[in-house]
A = this chain, B = another copy of it.
Amino acid sequence: MNKPSGSVAVLSGGVGGAKLVLGLSRVLSDGQLTVIANTGDDFEHLGLAISPDLDTLTYTLAGEVNTETGWGLRDESWRFMEALAQLGGETWFRLGDRDLATHVERTRRLAAGERLTEITRDFCRRLGVATRILPMSDQAVRTRVSTDRGPLDFQHYFVREQAAPEVIGLDYVGASDSSPSDEVLEVLRKADLSAIIIAPSNPYLSIDPILAIPAIKEAIRGTNAPVVAVSPIVHGIAIKGPTAKIMSELGLTASADNIARHYDELLDGFILDSTDGNMVAEIETSALKVTSCDTIMRSLEDKIRVANATLEFADSLSR
């Protein structure tokens, strides 16, 4: 198999993206892979700094994720939550007893002046995660959802309201004035960069907040490495989460071709699911190569298979 020999960057949200990231981490050597993670979902809750996508990625790569939900820790307990309910605290965002340590310690270190990038690196080290996970920025960028019930902070929309309100639009508050960390820029500008992969995450909720940071989009536009996205829409259905629902609410048909169109000029390659193979010719242009494979990732073998397919495809596109 022809895989990139240089470094690989992947843009990812939480659960869906973490599957491909896990596959990539098993295929590439330590130090070769860097994840640039969405922090538009981050929020302060109960006075704690919560970074859902960073944690899902970290827990997944540490082998500690709850495999039933795809987020949170396995072997979790909920005694804090029960006691909080007794005291009348807010319980719509579930924080497990073990998971809570991550939020308390992150909050403490942020308050002490550490950067989120450094804290995440240290957590990874302590949990035995060799893959580098970088928050997209150390500055606050917050996804705000305009809905038929008014504007909602992301987690209020996504968790408290269970993505039920109709989405009218999305804002990435703070993005246009924000900068990526030096680490993110360095990765995207690396001379040996072999591929930039956009994971099969929700484009609107997980990838667009990353791309909304001007210097990140500019770096991706300026790279010589092939930029490849994996479709999160399979045969009109989102594998995970409300992608299809949101697309419909935004007046778009939930289909792989609309995902390709969404990323548009950023992409050199696009991978869709075999069941959407009929769209390959339709989407492909002289500037955008398209391929198909079985993109459903249930087992670890699936994840490794999709990772290999993605890397080989990227390698075939390298200039």
On chain A, which size bracket covers the interface?
20 to 34
For residue A111, give the distance in angstroms from its CB to the closest CB of chain B: 6
Select A82's contact among B47, B88, B98, B111, beta carbons within 8 Å: B98
Task: From A21-29, A121-129, A177-185, A287-295, give the one contacting chain B.
Answer: A121-129
For residue A31, CB closer than 8 A to chain B, the reply is no
Tell me how many chains of this kind the complex includes: 2
Q: Max chain B CB contacts within 10 Å: which of A77, A104, A122?
A: A104
Please tell me which one of the listed residues B47, B86, B104, B107 contacts residue A101 in the complex, with CB atoms under 8 A apart: B86
Q: B residues within 8 A CB of A98?
A: 79-80, 82-83
CA of A99 to CA of B107, assembled, Å = 19
Q: In this assembly, does A169 line the interface, its C-beta being within 8 Å of a C-beta of chain B?
A: no
Q: Which of A57-112 contact B (CB under 8 A)?
A: 73, 77, 79-84, 86-89, 97-102, 104-105, 107-108, 111
10 A-B pairs with the lowest CB-CB distances in the bound complex, closest first? A83-B101, A84-B101, A79-B97, A83-B98, A97-B97, A89-B105, A47-B108, A87-B105, A80-B97, A79-B98
29 CB contacts below 8 A, A to B, read A46-B104, A46-B105, A47-B104, A47-B108, A77-B79, A79-B79, A79-B98, A80-B97, A82-B101, A83-B98, A83-B101, A84-B104, A84-B105, A86-B101, A86-B126, A86-B127, A87-B101, A87-B105, A87-B122, A87-B123, A87-B126, A87-B127, A88-B122, A88-B126, A89-B101, A89-B105, A89-B108, A97-B97, A100-B100
